[in-house]
Amino acid sequence: MDQLKYIEEPDMFHDIFGHIPLLILPEYSDFIQAYAKMALKYTHNEKATALLQRLYWFTVEFGLIYQAGKAKIYGAGIISSPQESRFSVSDASKKIPFDIDVIFNNPFRKDDIQNEYYVIDQLSDLADCIPTVEQHLQNLIQKGLGDVKPVR
Binding site for Fe ion (CB under 5 A): 76
Q: How far apart are CA 147 and CA 149, in angstroms?
A: 7
Residue number, 36 or 92, with CB nearest to Fe ion: 36
Asked if omega into 97 is within 30° of 0 (cis), the reply is no
Q: What is the nearest approach in angstroms of Fe ion to the Cβ of residue 74?
A: 12
Q: What is the nearest approach in angstroms of Fe ion to the Cβ of residue 60?
A: 7
Q: What is the nearest approach in angstroms of Fe ion to the Cβ of residue 139?
A: 29
Residue number, 80 or 133, with CB nearest to Fe ion: 80
Residue number, 35 or 136, with CB nearest to Fe ion: 35
Q: How far apart are CA 88 and CA 49, in angstroms?
A: 26
Q: How far apart are CA 59 and CA 44, in angstroms?
A: 23
